[in-house]
Structure 1
Amino acid sequence: MSSKTKIVVLHMKEIIYTAVFALLGILLILILLFMFLPDDSKEKSSSKEYMPGIYTSSITLNNTPLQVEVSVDKHHINSVRFSNLDETVTTMYPLIQPAMEDVADQVVKNQTTDNITSSSEDSYTSKLITDAINDALKKAEEK
């Protein structure tokens, strides 16, 4: 009987290299999938829809009406500002403009008025501004 036995010699270094390159290939494929597949979680978080436009709400400070103006598009809050803030109001209430800028930045960044942080100096002012923004956003949602 003549059976031919073949002996295969595998070098351990070649096996390790093959395993490492296979793992790197799988890792590269996973990274590419995560990078280029669409991310639906961002769209689901902003579930509110607005009628695009500019909506206003009023704040009254010592018989002086101030208009808070909120600009929105279909899914986003674009900007928040005072539309009729004059020098006499900023002189009488020096914290009103910095408080508005701080609240507006947070609202535009987070796309919500929930969890607005404010310093202890302007917590009441920030609350007034947040309430006015909520009123304007309700108008934007109703239309």
Structure 2
Amino acid sequence: MSAKTKIVVLHTKEVIYTVLFVVLAIVLAVLLFLMFGKDKKTTSFSGSPAKYHAGIYKSPITLDNNTFDVEVTVDEHEITSISMTNLSEATTAMYPLMEPALESLANQIYATQSTKDLTYAEENKYTSMLLLDAINSALKKARAD
């Protein structure tokens, strides 16, 4: 019986590089799948009547002789964007809760596509109510009745 012994020499550096490239390839494959895979959000609006006239609608707010606009962007079936325009630095400094309050309201509106039953923090109550009135006013202009 002769034993044919085979000796395999592995260089540590080559093994590490190989493992690293395999991990990077797996990560790349997962990222490509997530980016170009089927979209899970499949909403079909075909056949349903338009809820809004697509466009950008503004509603002005005046605070201490400073006027800025709440801008609501809609397509035919949903609210796509809510932002403030023409907001001066003085207004931002005097009313620092405006932007966080609008962001909180906008996130809730995007999720529910409604301005009803929104929640806001007690310290943002009046700011949120002011912004919500402006958003509702802009949406009133956009409604397709």
The TM-score, its normalising length taken from structure 1, stands at: 0.65
Q: Which runs of 5 or more structure 1 residues have no equivalent in the other structure?
A: 1-38
% same residue: 47
Q: Hey, what does 2:64 align to over in structure 1?
A: 62
Q: Which runs of 5 or more structure 2 residues have no equivalent in the other structure?
A: 1-41
Deviations 1:14-37 (A, max 9, x none): xxxxxxxxxxxxxxxxxxxxxxxx
1:76 and 2:75 correspond = no
Q: Hey, what does 1:49 align to over in structure 2?
A: 51
Equivalence map 1:1-143=2 (5 Å):
49-141=51-143
Q: Hey, what does 1:35 align to over in structure 2?
A: none
Distance 1:84 1:107 in 2: 22
- The alpha-carbon deviation at position 108 of structure 1 amounts to 1.3
Deviations 1:77-136 (A, max 9, x none): 001000111221110001111111111111111101101110000100000100100000
Deviations 1:35-81 (A, max 9, x none): xxxx99x96xx977100000000111112111000000001000100
Structure 1 residue runs of 4+, over 4 Å off? none
Larger proportion of helix: 1
Higher Rg: 1
Q: Hey, what does 2:12 align to over in structure 1?
A: none
Secondary structure, in 3 states, of the residue corresponding to 2:143? helix
The TM-score, its normalising length taken from structure 2, stands at: 0.64
Over the aligned positions, Cα root-mean-square deviation in angstroms equals 2.3
Aligned length in residues: 102
Distance 1:138 1:52 in 2: 13
Distance 1:111 1:118 in 2: 16
- Alpha carbons of 1:114 and 1:47: their partners in 2 closer, same or farther (altered >3 Å)? farther
